[in-house]
Structure 1
């Protein structure tokens, strides 16, 4: 199995701690780790590599891929690299499974059951259920809608169905509230397996020993305003990485990031043909 994460520089710290927790608790030493990067510096890669026992494969987004992403929706919290998960399966060998993990996840238990999961005839396994997010994308509210932060992908099925091309066609044809996540749900419609919530635990009160993957979907654990009960464990793990002495980000950092993103959007010329 391949474990992959897609980040820009802002999420290097979170990705490093996630990988440290994977090495410590994941119980899948044979899995390959890939980091898809957008603008990562050599120093960023060196720090992330220092968090792992095994060699990490770094893949920088190339100009042709970035050209595909031009004009797609971004926010101050959600950069163009979020779309990279749609390209990931096309970069991999067409065998086995790919486990995609957002950088803001933390591994608390063995991932071996995911490594051994049989996805024959299915495209994706993920945590989800009926959701109001189905309605804006033209699906019934009781349809299975999954969160894209932890996704197990069947590489053979994805590639044989050319779902990367299908995803790009959808993105170019309409606007989505949650583009990468909405599109993944559409291309895998009827071909999904529901994962237990322990594989993508997003509740701040979920401290059960059964949780295997924590997903910090709101305030990130490297901020002063995060109150998640697993923040202390995150900081313990971080203390063993190159970010041990990094300061916690504040609300002022968040506001500055929003301001800079707004300025970049105003100054950036509109792509031709859009």
Structure 2
């Protein structure tokens, strides 16, 4: 059923610190959380990704109604409208959503980052701040990118044994190419994981200085890493992670599918998380792929119900979309429309060159 907005009662701010978390969660769920039975999930986003992140959270709760969940949102700035929607989401689903303002974590950042790293983006900082920030709150945290939808039961993570590794990870769909690229820099890796889903063993991560060492790799001008924190994490964690099944991070590229005029969702039935990798995302208004319907399914059950999807095109997206459209029109023998779209495709192609 669609999400039903309600007049919110007066309540404390969502920006709770870890010392307040136990009392706040007791009030929301009726029981003090038991870390062994609670799955902590963290996101690092900016204002533009709060909307899709909210839909991600909705998809997780909808597919795991009996699971004890606590969500952590790491963000630099958030609008009042999105703050209120997160509060509605928290109350509606009775799952804590703790907002961690990045500017309030300056002390942690200073401990891990030298002045020479000042140019590194907040996106890279955020993922690396999470283990330090949640130390003492939980021993395990699931980090997720915001371009992910949950489509299955994730309770298995609570029973997963990560041993003495720093994290459980999922192999990148382009792992061979990624390894070859880094090998050209003299870095021979055993494998390569996608950093959009990380089940982090916080004590081990901190004890081995993963965040600090990763920032050093990102800032190294000799390495000049192409994928910044993902490359750096793979270098630092090589041999120190547990690779788990791809159903936990089913990397789904819309670009390649649309180029082949494929518009149906095609994921294995046991998939837990669908990760929409690449520049094209399901929340575009013009998205002709079935992924848009999947996104809207969960959006309708969230406080973002009725919010318009993103109408914008990046140059890359318009190139892919026009190519999809002219091929689709020709396949349907709609020759005139096909020629119009082919003209748009060629124009974008040669403008890009």
The 1:38/1:98 distance shift into structure 2, 3 A limit, reads: same
Q: Of 139, 147, 151, which aligns to 1:108?
A: 151
Please give the alpha-carbon distance, in whole angstroms, between the structure 1 residues aligned to 2:66 and 2:102: 26
Q: Which residue of 2 aligns with 1:150?
A: 197
> Secondary structure of the residue that 1:4 maps to in structure 2?
strand
> Within 5 A, what are the aligned runs for 1:244-259?
244-252=305-313, 254=314
Q: Of 159, 163, 186, which aligns to 2:235?
A: 186
Unaligned runs of 5+ in 2: 1-38, 255-264, 316-353
The 1:43/1:2 distance shift into structure 2, 3 A limit, reads: same
Measured after TM superposition, the shift of residue 13 of structure 1 is: 0.6
Segments of 4+ moved more than 4 angstroms: 65-69
Q: Which residue of 1 aligns with 2:73?
A: 35
The structure with more radius of gyration: 2
> Within 5 A, what are the aligned runs for 1:132-211?
132-134=177-179, 135-136=181-182, 138-140=186-188, 143-174=190-221, 175-203=224-252, 205-211=265-271
Aligned length: 247
> Within 5 A, what are the aligned runs for 1:4-153?
4-26=42-64, 29-52=67-90, 53=93, 54-62=95-103, 64=106, 68=113, 70-72=118-120, 80-93=122-135, 96-128=139-171, 130-134=175-179, 135-136=181-182, 138-140=186-188, 143-153=190-200
> Secondary structure of the residue that 2:89 maps to in structure 1?
coil
Measured after TM superposition, the shift of residue 230 of structure 1 is: 3.0
Measured after TM superposition, the shift of residue 231 of structure 1 is: 2.4
Measured after TM superposition, the shift of residue 58 of structure 1 is: 0.3
Q: Please report the TM-score for the alignment, with normalisation by the length of structure 1.
A: 0.81
Identify which range, 95-104 or 203-212, moves more after superposition: 203-212
Q: Could you give the per-residue CA deviations for residues 2-36 of structure 1, whole angstroms, max 9, x where no partner exists? A: 21001000001100000011111135632321000
Please give the alpha-carbon distance, in whole angstroms, between the structure 1 residues aligned to 2:186 and 2:249: 25
Please give the alpha-carbon distance, in whole angstroms, between the structure 2 residues aligned to 1:109 and 1:61: 31
Does the aligned pair in 1 maintain the 2:42–2:71 contact within 8 Å?
A: yes
The 1:164/1:40 distance shift into structure 2, 3 A limit, reads: same
Q: Could you give the per-residue CA deviations for residues 44-95 of structure 1, whole angstroms, max 9, x where no partner exists? A: 222123234212110011273678563126xxxxxx3243111111111255
Q: Of 237, 240, 259, which aligns to 2:298?
A: 237
Q: Please report the TM-score for the alignment, with normalisation by the length of structure 2.
A: 0.64
CA RMSD of aligned residues (A): 2.3
> Secondary structure of the residue that 1:240 maps to in structure 2?
coil
Measured after TM superposition, the shift of residue 153 of structure 1 is: 0.8
> Secondary structure of the residue that 1:148 maps to in structure 2?
strand
Which gives a bigger RCO, structure 1 or 2 (Cα 8 Å, sep 6+)? 1
Please give the alpha-carbon distance, in whole angstroms, between the structure 1 residues aligned to 2:247 and 2:125: 25
Please give the alpha-carbon distance, in whole angstroms, between the structure 1 residues aligned to 2:291 and 2:79: 29
The 1:246/1:66 distance shift into structure 2, 3 A limit, reads: farther
